C-alpha cells in the first residue's frame, strides 16, 4: 500500500498568501471562494474523495454568495442614483414653480424644501408635497 501525500489549504492560509501578494483583505469574495473550492478539489485524497453532497453544498454556497454580491452592487447603484436625484432637486429651493394637480388644476408657489417620499423626490410648497414629475414651470422667485 502506498501513502498519498495531500496538500491542505485553509482560509487563514489563503488570506495570508493574498496579503503577501498585495491583494490583502480579510473578506472572502466570490473569486477567492471559487479558487479555494478548486484547490480543495485538486488536492483531495483520491482514496477518500469529497462527497457529492459536500460539493453540492459548497456550490450552493458559492451561488448564494454570488447572488448576494450582485444584489449588493445593484442596491448600491440604486442608492447612489437616488442620492444624486435628490441632491439635483435641491436647487429648486427658493424657486417659483407651477404644477398640475391630480385633478388637472394649475397651482404655483415657492419651493421651501425637498423631500424623498415613497421612492420619489418631491418638493414642498407651503403644506403641499409636489411630485417633480408634475412641475410644468420653474422661475426665479420675485
Residue-wise pLDDT tens digits, 114-139: 888 777 788 999 999 998 889 999 99
- pLDDT value at 59 more than 80: no
User: Per-residue confidence at 102, pLDDT binned at 50, 70, 90?
Assistant: confident
**34: exposed, middle or buried (C-beta count within 10 Å: 0-12, 13-18, 19+)?**
middle
C-alpha separations of 60 from 51, 55, 66, 103 in Å: 14, 9, 10, 53
What is the spatial distance between Cα 12 and Cα 67, in angstroms, rounded to a whole number? 24
Is-above-0.85 flag for pTM?
no
Q: Which long-range contacts (CB under 8 A, 24 or more apart) does 48-53 make?
A: none
Grid cell locating 103: 385633478
Amino acid at each position: 500500500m502506498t501513502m498519498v501525500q495531500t496538500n491542505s489549504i485553509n482560509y487563514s492560509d489563503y488570506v495570508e498568501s493574498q496579503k503577501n501578494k498585495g491583494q490583502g483583505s480579510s473578506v472572502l469574495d466570490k473569486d477567492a471562494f471559487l479558487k479555494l473550492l478548486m484547490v480543495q478539489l485538486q488536492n483531495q485524497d483520491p482514496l477518500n474523495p469529497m462527497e457529492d453532497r459536500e460539493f453540492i453544498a459548497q456550490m450552493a454556497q458559492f451561488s448564494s454568495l454570488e447572488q448576494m454580491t450582485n444584489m449588493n452592487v445593484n442596491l448600491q447603484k440604486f442608492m447612489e442614483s437616488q442620492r444624486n436625484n435628490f441632491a439635483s432637486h435641491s436647487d429648486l429651493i427658493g424657486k417659483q414653480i407651477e404644477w398640475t394637480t391630480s385633478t388637472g388644476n394649475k397651482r404655483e408657489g415657492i419651493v421651501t424644501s425637498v423631500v424623498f417620499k415613497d421612492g420619489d423626490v418631491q418638493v414642498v410648497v407651503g403644506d403641499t408635497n409636489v411630485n417633480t414629475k408634475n412641475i410644468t414651470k420653474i422661475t426665479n422667485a420675485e
